[in-house]
Amino acid sequence: MPLPLQRSFDQMGAHLSEVPFCVLDIETTGGRASDMGITEIGAVRYVGGELQGSFQTLVDPGLPIPPSITILTGITHAMVIDAPPVAEMLPALLEFIGDAVVVGHNVRYDLSFINASLEHHGYSKLPNRSVDTAALARRLISGEIRNFKLVTLAAHFRSPVTPNHRALADAEATAHVLWCLLERAGTLGVTHLDDLLALPRARGAATYGKIRLTESLPRRPGVYLFIDRRDAIIYVGKAKNLRSRVRSYFYGDTRKSVGHMLRELVRIEHRVCATELEAEITELRLIRAHSPRHNRRSKPSRSTHWVRLTDEAFPRLSLARTVQEPALAHIGPFRGRKPAKAVIEALWDATRIRRCTHPAGSRPGPCSFAQIGAALCPCDGSLGEDRYRPVVDEILSGLDGRPEVLLDPLVARMTNMASSERFEEAGWVRDRHRALSRALERRTTWQMLQQAGSIRAVGTDGGAAIDRGRLVAAWPDGLAPPLLPPPTVPGSEEVARDVGDAEEAWLVWKWLNLPGTQIVSTEGPLDLASMVVRRLVRIAV
């Protein structure tokens, strides 16, 4: 029998004063959880610190109670012989717990017995979130007490109820310990459920005290900026929930780069965004503008390259640092020489485009590529333009709406190599296929967004106004769009002139294709249903 999913408490961002807590304790026969030897269950339920009810019952474990357990708990076999079995108690216990966050001292032990009993009797495991007061105490008051036993903590916090290894009394004492620990946690800015759940994982490094810098962050989409003592922006990130995301850096992130970044951190600034798309694009633009040293991705490219199909009697492929005419076509931009070179190699593998740079008729014999039949080269003067032109037309066709013309030969080549157990070479072709398919897809989507011109669309969290692939405005769900600038005439730019523009257009394209995004209006044609590039079929290499 499946249990209902626990409510999200607004995606775990609920204030602790609004969260129901069920403090639970059980007594057992001391065996394994799979034995389901529960002898007593005690629980108290609170909301906002106020007691809502209590639950207590002895349980017939169906097992003998060892004398050592009787000495510890005072529960004898005679006390439970007329008690109901656990199967009869489970429905009432589940109703009492409801959607509350389960709290316990070493709560995993208690939940292991409860969940074993639930599964044995046809239920699912408890879906509820849980909080362990022992783990909280280790994080918050380490060094103040000699150990973290419940009786020690209860005495330390002067609990009015003394734990005595009876379920209800121990649950009440645990509840008192919880409220005292929550008061301590509040001094660290732990005021919401997601903060509390993450607190036990927080690192004990000296930088943890800087978590106070996050107290003013809202629980909204946006971007955050880490700033050092020189007022330099050292990191920019995006988040669906600014507060939760930034605080997660202090909750068990052991990456060295994060440690270095937190040591340099002095101040945190943020910008709230209307939608997740706006947050993504704002992050991209800020990284381009400031080049933070801890951002590895999306930094301005040091060496932007394009692949150019030259405009000459016998066109060839070349690497270019700028988009210049005359040229038959460009592909790109690429972040560096290596990915651009991979696309050229993919086109060499897919077609017989010339590879040598010798002028036509300048050699007494064909170059090596022509000799082995890998390319058509005019270097010996025997190749006419009419015979060479179909190779150029093949590439242009692949660039202008028929990518399979260029990609299918690579798939066939890779398959043949894999069949011949030339796996390393097949892997090279696979990587070139991926580079080319990615470049073709981005080139085509760029051109489609240019042709569409001004676009208005509405997604699951709000709307966006887009102008030739660039976000110009965003608004949250349920609000009317702001006053927008007049639409521009749809463009015809073949490729982006900047890596940042290309990446922004790609983010926009992905958002437009998300389930739930609806196009409201466009200035020019925009066919989202068309498959731009067929994905590579998996082939073991």
In angstroms, the first-to-last Cα distance of the chain is 45
Residue 333's identity, in one-letter code, is P
Spatial distance between the Cα atoms of 440 and 430, rounded to a whole number of angstroms:
15
CB 423 within 8 A of CB 541: yes
Angle at 64 between CA 62 and CA 66, to 5 degrees: 145
Spatial distance between the Cα atoms of 224 and 239, rounded to a whole number of angstroms:
8
Which residues share a beta bridge with 463? 458, 475
Residues with catalytic annotation? 165
Long-range contacts of 60-66 (CB under 8 A, 24+ apart): 60/84, 60/85, 60/86, 61/28, 61/29, 61/36, 61/37, 61/86, 62/36, 62/37, 63/29, 63/31, 63/35, 63/37, 64/29, 65/29, 65/39, 66/29, 66/30
SS3 content of the chain, % helix, strand, coil (to 5): 40, 20, 40
Q: Which two tokens stand for residue 515?
A: 């389930």
Of 60, 52, 51, 50, the closest CA to residue 87 belongs to: 60
Mind spelling out the 3-state secondary structure of 275-290?
Answer: CHHHHHHHHHHHHHHH
**DSSP 3-state of 12:** helix
Spatial distance between the Cα atoms of 451 and 527, rounded to a whole number of angstroms:
11
| Exposed/middle/buried for residue 136 (C-beta within 10 Å: 0-12, 13-18, 19+) | buried
**DSSP 3-state of 228:** coil
Q: Which two tokens stand for residue 492?
A: 């015809």
The enclosing H or E element of 399 equals helix 385-399
Residue 139's identity, in one-letter code, is R
User: Residue 228 to residues 2, 182, 289, 293: CA-CA distances in angstroms?
Assistant: 51, 31, 17, 11
Q: Which two tokens stand for residue 365?
A: 């014999």
